Amino acid sequence: MTDSGATTIVPTLDTLTTQEKADGWQMLFDGQSTTGWHQYGGEPVGPAWKIIDGALYLDTTSKVGDNIIGGGDIVTNDDYENFDLKYQWKISPKGNSGVIFNVYEDTIKYKEPYETGPEMQVLDNDGNEDGKIIKHRAGDLYDLISCSRETVKPVGEWNDAEIKLLNGKLDLYLNGENVVSTTMWDDNWKKLVAGSKFKDWKGFAAYKKGKICLQDHHYAVSYKNIKLRKL
């Protein structure tokens, strides 16, 4: 309740502050369209990716088996190397998704974005089977490093996430806490990959520049306030 005559201010989604603009941030999602994105492989973003209340929502209403009709992984039109990426996500009950980065888009060599890009996991830890697997829980660097501390919000609530990569130094943040910190491409990184499901994938994490990907993992998921600053 507000005092008589007072105005309730509703924050505007998917916009930058004057300071953020000055600091070099850019919106990757404008809250109104899928401009700047396409389906992995080059096709336009499918109709299952809908804009609802300023968020990019993957609608699972129409499926053939597990596959969402009009869905698919979507990637940015542009490639990024050193960057700070911030976004918010909300997962559905039992849901699974992820944000994949440094994706090299060559569908002749790589059929899926995850064949080249590491992933920050998006998951209902309690409802999805992946939650029972170490290094597969929300906020983890998928199949490589578990969160130092679990800070994920309950299913249905928005989470603040951040992926920061600068000259190989990789930091993942979930709800304001630095939950993963590592260095890509050094000897320790090579050991991590060698001990993971990606050990025989020649293209995995092989590229220092690539696209940002929002994953269609057959479950409803929402993303908003997706913004990036080149470093």
Q: What is the pLDDT of residues 113-170, one digit of tens each?
A: 999 999 999 999 999 999 999 999 999 999 999 999 999 999 999 999 999 999 999 9
With H, G, I as helix, E, B as strand and everything else as coil, classify residue 101. Answer: strand
Give the burial string for 175-211 (b: 16+ CB within 10 Å, else e). Answer: beeebbebebeeeebeebbeebebeeeeebbebeebb
CATH class of 24-230: mainly beta
Instruction: Calculate the CA 154 to chain-centre distance.
Output: 18
pLDDT at 189 over 60: yes
pLDDT at 14 over 80: no
In the chain, % of residues over pLDDT 70: 94
pLDDT at 173 over 80: yes
Q: Which residues contact 223 (CB under 8 A, 6 or more apart)?
A: 29, 55, 56, 87, 88, 89, 99, 214
Which residue ranges make up each domain of the chain?
24-230
- Grade residue 20 by pLDDT with cuts at 50, 70 and 90: very high
> For the chain, what is the mean pLDDT?
94
Residue 145 near residue 174 (C-beta atoms within 8 A) = no
Q: Which residues contact 36 (CB under 8 A, 6 or more apart)?
A: 28, 29, 30, 76, 77, 78
Determine whether 94 is exposed, middle or buried from the number of CB atoms within 10 Å of its CB (0-12, 13-18, 19+): middle
- Grade residue 56 by pLDDT with cuts at 50, 70 and 90: very high
Q: So what's the pLDDT on residue 13? A: 64
Q: So what's the pLDDT on residue 10? A: 43
- Grade residue 3 by pLDDT with cuts at 50, 70 and 90: very low
